[in-house]
Amino acid sequence: MNKKVVLVLLLTFACLSTAYLLISTPATTPMRITSQEHLDELIQQGLQEQGIANNHYRVYTAVQDSLFTRKVYQIDTPPGFSKTTLHYELHRLLANYGVQLPGKVLFPEQDVHLYVTANGTVHRTLRVRTNPDLIPSPDSTRTNQPSSTDL
């Protein structure tokens, strides 16, 4: 009989502890995109964080039909720039807001098209292409690593 009482007391304590933790934990409110301008600010912030200067991309409006238009970002990157890393970092930034960023690679150019989608609707298109005229900026994360010619 003594074991049953101890078991009931332990279960009661566990239930009370769980209820306290559930009540005391603050509710997290998901971040939301408040407007199309907010979405554009987030995209531009992500591009800046990846070292893409304002003069290396342009924004224009693509008209699909009389009812639907969409902003398109045409992004030029230097040779050797990791488009996959750009895709990942933009995805990581926008995922906090419930926005998905599926992509498509076009061959043989190896250009990347990223589609900013929310609630099943594509809101923006990012076309990332390589521009051989751009000079790659030195990557500060690789200063201590040997180059491939040193190996």
- State which residues form the domain around 93: 36-134
Q: Which pLDDT score is estimated for 24?
A: 86
- Give the model's confidence band at 147: pLDDT under 50 very low, under 70 low, under 90 confident, else very high: very low
Instruction: Determine what percent of the chain is predicted with pLDDT higher than 90.
Output: 58
Which residue from 125, 123, 126 is spatially nearest to 37, judged by alpha carbons?
Answer: 123
Asked if residue 59 belongs to a domain, the reply is: yes
The amino acid at 80: G
The verdict on residue 51 lying in a domain is: yes
- Total count of domains within the chain: 1
88 confidence band (pLDDT: 50, 70, 90): very high
pLDDT digits (tens, 9 = 90+) for 89-134: 999 999 989 899 999 999 888 899 999 998 888 999 999 999 988 8
Q: Above pLDDT 70, what percent of the chain?
A: 86
Residue 71: pLDDT band with limits 50, 70, 90:
very high
pLDDT for 14 beyond 90: yes
Domain membership of residue 27 (yes or no) is no
- Give ∠ CA 119-67-121 in degrees, rounded to 5: 10
CATH at residue 79: 3.30.460
Answer whether residue 1 is part of any domain. no
> Pairing relation of β-strands 69-77 and 121-130?
parallel
Residue 28: what pLDDT?
A: 66
Q: Is residue 151 part of a domain?
A: no
Flag whether 29 is in a domain.
no
Angle of CA points 87, 78, 39, to nearest 5°: 35
Sheet of 103-106: strands edge to edge? 57-63, 69-77, 121-130, 111-118, 103-106
Residue 10 placed within a domain? no
Instruction: Note the pLDDT tens digit of each residue in 21-56.
Output: 888 887 766 788 888 999 999 999 999 999 999 999
Tell me whether residue 81 is in a domain. Answer: yes
C-beta separation of 59 from 73 below 8 A:
yes
First to last CA, the chain: 74
Q: What does pTM read for this prediction?
A: 0.70
